[in-house]
Chains A and B, each alone.
Chain A
Amino acid sequence: MSPGRRRAARRESVAGYGFLVPWLIGFLGLTLGPMLYSLYLAFTKYNLFKDPEWVGFDNFVRMFTDDPQYLQSVQITLIYVLVGTPIKLAAALGIAMLLNYRNKGSGFFRSSFYAPSLIGASVSVAIVWRAMFSTDGPVDNSLSLFGIELGGWVGNVALVVPMMILLAVWQFGAPMVIFLAGLKQIPQELYEAAEVDGAGPVRKFRSVTIPMLSSVIFFNLLLELINAFQIFASAYIISNGSGGPAGMTNYYTVYLYKRGFADLQMGYASAMAWVLVIVVAIIAFILFKTSTRWVHYAGENR
């Protein structure tokens, strides 16, 4: 490299890192640093007042062998994620296809369906949800018109989980908008060709829509799974921070918050957080690994 070239390269580096200063401070000071510190805390006992005390793997062992509340929070979080996410994505895809079918007023519908996604995690919506599903609330009342008498959902151990899943599904708008954009990019010729070959609607969906949409499905799946694991505000508000009834809204992050900031068991809560990181990393890894088999990237014209 000539001296002039090298000087230019150095100038670029100075400019690059110069522009990145705020991000670098944030990344090192508020993300990477805290991550490493929380990894250390995960192996300690720490209550904010006394110095952290090294306990090795005790937190992790206790989590899985001596903490039924933890195991329950894992269980309901998994149910919420594994049941809620597929339903939400199916609703998003179904309605996106419906919107893509014809164009009349689709701007209005798109926006109406998207609105819940923006406000779904807000305290206001959690309060409304609780009121709507309470005893003698509008949901109960409409169901009783069909002869279904369920009583309130909020305090009911069996119904509070479906209620929370409904809240998640109600926010199908964000993945729907992404699906819709993907559907619009599928060339019509593919459908016409399939039809000439005698394909019916189901076959067209399976052989054209799904493969052509696979990269978008992958993206939505990854994003929604990770989001679902982090449900907090609505569960916290609906149960008044208690995680009740009988721990059925004690989602992973609600329990983490209680351990960390109510009981001041910050080492234990850090260990919980790291288990979550590992689970999310494993899911992302599996999705990325298997994606080469089912995700189909058509023409790199993006």
Chain B
Amino acid sequence: MSTIEVPSAEFLEISTEPAPQRRRRIKRKTVNTIIWMIVLLALTAIVLYPLVWMLFATFKPSSEFGQNPGLMPDNPTVDNYVKVVEGIAGTPLWRFFANSLFIAVMAVIGTLFSSALAAYAFARIKFRGVGLLFAAMIGTLLLPFHVIIIPQYIMFNKLELVDTYWPLILPKFLATEAFFVFLIVQFIRNIPRDMDEAARIDGAGHIRIFFSIILPLIKPALITSAIFTFIWTWNDFLGPLLYINTPEEYPLPIALKLYNDQTSTSDYGATMAVSFLALLPILIFFIVFQRFLVDGVATQGLKG
């Protein structure tokens, strides 16, 4: 696909060239490829360095921090992990993981269910007001969410749901993340209408069409939405910071803050180890599903 620097006119000339010159040209192309490769590898190394450094830092004893900013630990140890697994503030580490996992799984279920329903209505059903509602949905994409966190907090506070997981999970069941509704709408619009029209002639209603025709066909969009929802919920900091006050109920990001506050000066190694463990599920997710994630972002951007 490297046609940019080999235009067709020049290409014709090459074929009449004497052999040594042609060989030189091919050699120059190889050299260019090698330079290109080296530049990109160097950039990759820079971009991934913080993560690699973090991984190696988890094996450094805390006393080594500040003296050894390099990659390799002088005296590698797994003490940090041993210490960290015990947990903090009387709560074992697995508890924070379980809390995060519960919230993230519920968020995925809720987002898929509510976003797919809404997307089907926006993409396939013609009814009065659909245009206006669709515009409103797109509008919420651009809305800074800080404008609603204060009233939402007041509302959940009045309902006495602060310090429960409801404020974190309920919005996901109500399709408040417009990004996913939009993503699925775009996907449904690309599915030919022939099949659902045939089904309609056979007497199928929207519920039948949604469940037996559309839902199986939008699986790729659903998978993309599921992975993004999981990762974003897993990383979410502000939501749990506002709503969860009991340390045993903390999800990982807030538990990390606890580590960071209490041990940042004295115990860098342990802080790094927890941070890495908190990131691990996401990194694994990313390695397994990278194609979906990267392509999901690309299509989202292009089909406006």
CB–CB B36/A101 < 8 A: yes
Chain A positions 220 through 260: 1 when the CB is less than 8 Å from some CB of chain B, otherwise 0: 10100010011011001100100000000000010011001
The docked-state distance in angstroms from the alpha carbon of A35 to that of B145 is 10
CB–CB B171/A30 < 8 A: yes
Not counting A20-B117, A30-B152, A38-B148, a sample of 10 additional A-B residue pairs whose C-beta atoms are within 8 angstroms of each other reads: A17-B121, A17-B127, A26-B114, A34-B148, A37-B151, A122-B279, A123-B237, A124-B275, A182-B302, A240-B260
B93 within 8 A of A: no
Task: Kindly list chain A residues whose C-beta atoms are within 8 Å of the C-beta of B193.
Answer: none
The docked-state distance in angstroms from the alpha carbon of A216 to that of B133 is 25
Task: Kindly list chain A residues whose C-beta atoms are within 8 Å of the C-beta of B48.
Answer: 112, 115
Shortest Cβ distance from residue B13 to the other chain A in the assembled complex, whole angstroms: 13
Task: Determine, out of A59-67, A157-165, A173-181, the stretch whose residues face the partner at the interface.
Answer: A173-181
Known: A114-B294, A237-B257. A38 touches B147 (CB 8 A): yes
The docked-state distance in angstroms from the alpha carbon of A17 to that of B261 is 48
CB–CB A178/B301 < 8 A: yes
B12 within 8 A of A: no
Question: Among the listed B157, B283, B293, B302, which residue makes an inter-chain contact with A178, where contact means beta carbons less than 8 Å apart?
Answer: B302
CB–CB A112/B47 < 8 A: yes
Shortest Cβ distance from residue A65 to the other chain B in the assembled complex, whole angstroms: 22
A-side binding surface: helix, strand, loop or mixed? helix
> Of residues 94 to 153 in A, which have CB atoms within 8 Å of B's CB atoms?
95, 98-99, 101-105, 107, 109-116, 118-119, 121-125, 127-129, 131-132, 135-138, 140-141
29 intermolecular pairs with C-beta atoms under 8 Å apart: A22-B174, A23-B137, A24-B133, A26-B175, A30-B176, A34-B152, A37-B154, A48-B157, A95-B43, A98-B36, A102-B1, A107-B291, A112-B48, A113-B43, A113-B47, A116-B50, A119-B235, A119-B282, A122-B237, A123-B237, A123-B257, A124-B278, A128-B50, A141-B69, A181-B298, A181-B299, A188-B4, A195-B7, A253-B146
* Count of interface residues, chain B, beta-carbon cutoff 8 Å: 101
The docked-state distance in angstroms from the alpha carbon of A178 to that of B188 is 20
CB–CB B152/A131 < 8 A: no
Known: A19-B120, A177-B297. A284 touches B142 (CB 8 A): yes
Question: Among the listed A104, A119, A177, which residue makes an inter-chain contact with B279, where contact means beta carbons less than 8 Å apart?
Answer: A119
B108 within 8 A of A: no
CB–CB B47/A116 < 8 A: yes
A202 within 8 A of B: no
Task: Kindly list chain B residues whose C-beta atoms are within 8 Å of the C-beta of A68.
Answer: none
Chain B positions 258 through 296: 1 when the CB is less than 8 Å from some CB of chain A, otherwise 0: 001100100010011001101100110010001101100
Task: Kindly list chain A residues whose C-beta atoms are within 8 Å of the C-beta of B7.
Answer: 191-192, 195-196
Task: Kindly list chain A residues whose C-beta atoms are within 8 Å of the C-beta of B126.
Answer: 12, 16
CB–CB A103/B2 < 8 A: yes
Interchain residue pairs A-B with the least CB separation, the first 6: A26-B174, A178-B301, A16-B127, A34-B151, A19-B121, A181-B298
The docked-state distance in angstroms from the alpha carbon of A98 to that of B47 is 15
CB–CB B146/A256 < 8 A: yes
Q: A-contacting residues of B (Cβ < 8 Å)?
A: 1-4, 7-9, 33, 36-37, 39-40, 43-44, 47-48, 50-51, 53-54, 57, 65-67, 69-71, 113-114, 117-118, 120-122, 125-128, 130, 133, 136-137, 140, 142-155, 157, 171, 173-176, 181, 205-206, 210, 231, 235, 237-238, 242, 252-253, 256-257, 260-261, 264, 268, 271-272, 275-276, 278-279, 282-283, 286, 290-291, 293-294, 297-304
A1 within 8 A of B: no
B-side binding surface: helix, strand, loop or mixed? helix
A41 within 8 A of B: yes
Interface size band for A = 35 or more
Question: Among the listed B67, B237, B303, which residue makes an inter-chain contact with A233, where contact means beta carbons less than 8 Å apart?
Answer: B237
Task: Kindly list chain A residues whose C-beta atoms are within 8 Å of the C-beta of B122.
Answer: 20
Shortest Cβ distance from residue B236 to the other chain A in the assembled complex, whole angstroms: 8
Question: Among the listed A38, A116, A127, A253, which residue makes an inter-chain contact with B256, where contact means beta carbons less than 8 Å apart?
Answer: A127
The docked-state distance in angstroms from the alpha carbon of A170 to that of B140 is 27
The docked-state distance in angstroms from the alpha carbon of A136 to that of B52 is 18
A270 within 8 A of B: yes
Task: Kindly list chain A residues whose C-beta atoms are within 8 Å of the C-beta of B136.
Answer: 27, 32
CB–CB A19/B275 < 8 A: no
Task: Kindly list chain B residues whose C-beta atoms are within 8 Å of the C-beta of A31.
Answer: 140, 143, 148, 176
Task: Kindly list chain B residues whose C-beta atoms are within 8 Å of the C-beta of A112.
Answer: 44, 47-48
Task: Kindly list chain B residues whose C-beta atoms are within 8 Å of the C-beta of A109.
Answer: 40, 44
Question: Among the listed A30, A138, A141, which residue makes an inter-chain contact with B148, where contact means beta carbons less than 8 Å apart?
Answer: A30
The docked-state distance in angstroms from the alpha carbon of A32 to that of B235 is 26
CB–CB A230/B145 < 8 A: yes
CB–CB B206/A137 < 8 A: no
CB–CB A12/B127 < 8 A: yes
